[in-house]
Amino acid sequence: SQQGEEDPQALSIQEGENATMNCSYKTSINNLQWYRQNSGRGLVHLILIRSNEREKHSGRLRVTLDTSKKSSSLLITASRAADTASYFCATASGTALIFGKGTTLSVSS
């Protein structure tokens, strides 16, 4: 089944720096999504990028998609302590979304 794998597993940065997380997947997709999970909470949808899109922005988030390399990246600019969370990419497999193992981002002030 399709599955996203995030890289790195963990990332620690200072406030104000940019954070980049990568996701690789195995088979062709219609779209790829990124979700965020605060510790001990449910996941929240951040952004969806369709297979015919190469880049998408939402506030401080920038997502790119390279279908030839089967990869996507999530860039968070000017990070804040409140961005500390785990970030997951997800791809559709039939009726459900399959998630990767996530990147844990720590932003220190």
Residues lying near another protein in the complex (CB under 8 A)? 30-31, 33, 40-45, 48, 88, 90, 92, 94-102
Taking the least distance from each CB to another protein, the nearer of 22 and 77 is 22
Pairing of strands 55-58, 5-7: unpaired
Q: In 10 A of CB 95, how many CB atoms?
A: 5
Taking the least distance from each CB to another protein, the nearer of 77 and 106 is 106
Pairing of strands 31-37, 85-93: antiparallel
Taking the least distance from each CB to another protein, the nearer of 14 and 27 is 27
Nearest approach, Cβ of residue 101 and another protein (Å): 3
Nearest approach, Cβ of residue 21 and another protein (Å): 14
Separation between Cα atoms, residue 92 and residue 12, nearest integer Å:
29
Nearest approach, Cβ of residue 78 and another protein (Å): 26
Taking the least distance from each CB to another protein, the nearer of 59 and 94 is 94
Separation between Cα atoms, residue 78 and residue 16, nearest integer Å:
4
* AA letter at 102: G
Nearest approach, Cβ of residue 68 and another protein (Å): 22
| DSSP 8-state secondary structure symbol assigned to residue 30 | S
